[in-house]
Amino acid sequence: MFALVDCNNFYASCEALFDPRLRDRPLVVLSNNDGCVVARSKEAKAIGVPMGAPWFKLREMTEQHGIVALSSNYALYADLSNRVVEVLSAFTPNLEVYSIDESFLDLTGFAGLDLVHYGQQIRARVLQWLGLPVCVGIAPTKTLAKLANHVAKKRSGYAGVCDLTRLSGKEFDTLCAEIEVGEVWGVGRRIEERLSRIGVRSVQDLRQSDPDKIRAQFSVVLERTVRELRGEPCLALEEVAPPKQQIMASRSFGNPVFEIEELREAIANHVGRAAEKLRAQECEAGAVTVMIRTNVFKPEEPQYQRTVTSPLAEPTADTRTLLGAALAVLEGVFRPGYAYKKAGIMLSEITPVAGRQASLFGSDVEMARSAALMAAMDAINRKWGRGTLRPLAAAGEASGWKMRRERLSPAYTTNWDEIPGVSGEVRLSISTED
pLDDT in tens, the chain (434 residues): 999 999 999 999 999 999 989 989 999 999 877 889 999 999 999 999 999 999 989 988 998 999 999 998 988 999 999 999 999 999 999 999 999 999 999 999 887 889 999 999 999 999 999 999 999 999 999 999 999 999 999 999 999 999 999 999 999 999 999 999 999 999 999 999 999 999 999 999 999 999 999 999 999 999 999 999 999 999 998 866 677 889 999 888 888 999 999 999 999 999 999 999 999 998 999 999 999 999 988 889 999 999 999 999 899 999 999 999 999 999 999 999 999 999 999 999 998 887 666 555 556 678 888 888 899 988 888 877 767 777 765 555 555 556 667 788 888 888 778 887 766 555 555 444 44
Q: Does domain 167-241 fall into CATH 1.10.150.20?
A: yes
Q: What count of other Cβ atoms lies within 10 Å of the Cβ of residue 379?
A: 11
Q: Residue 383: what pLDDT?
A: 78
Side-chain-side CA neighbours of 251 within 13 Å: the count stands at 25
Count other Cβ atoms within 10 Å, centred on residue 267: 29
Structure confidence at residue 245 (pLDDT): 85
Q: Contact at 8 Å (CB) between 414 and 276?
A: no
| pLDDT of 140 | 96
Strand pairing partners for 347? 247, 288
- Answer for the pair 304, 376: CB distance below 8 angstroms, yes or no: no
* Domain extent listing, the chain: 1-158, 167-241, 247-394
CATH topology of domain 1-158: Alpha-Beta Plaits (3.30.70)
In this structure, whether the domain defined by 247-394 belongs to CATH 3.30.1490.100 is answered with yes
pLDDT, residue 354, reads 76
